[in-house]
Copies of this chain bind each other. A is one copy, B any other.
């Protein structure tokens, strides 16, 4: 399965699903027109409640990323790729902005922020 749920993430489980599905579509892991795992199946795999999955899928339908095929399941909608590429950028940017703003408010100058960023990026590469 292509989703990793982290319960102590701060983010709600349903929101993690929403974000990661969007990222998967943006990344091409999920293709347009493809059926996503059924509510019950995904719930079983992630060992969470089906309602939580349903809520995430509902959100994704509101965002026009998924589309309901009655009695069949949910597919990645036609316009999803574009939406998700934009959403991925927007979501990451928003979080970057937050942390930069807080760092700045906290009295760190651009150079210090740069240093921290490079350190973390390197340690991420190493882990990978």
Contact = CB atoms under 8 A, between A and B. Distances in A.
A93 interface: yes
B7 A70 contact: yes
Contacts of A107: 23-24, 26-29, 88
- Interface bracket on A: 35 or more
Interface string A6-45: 0101101100000110011011110000000000000000
Contacts of A121: 100, 110, 113-114
A92 interface: yes
A104 interface: yes
Contact of A124 (B7, B104, B106, B117): B104
B23 A105 contact: yes
Given A4-B105, A120-B100, A110 B92 contact: no
Given A7-B70, A89-B116, A93-B116, A124 B100 contact: yes
A74 to B, nearest CB: 13
A102 B113 contact: no
B88 A108 contact: yes
A105 B98 CA distance: 19
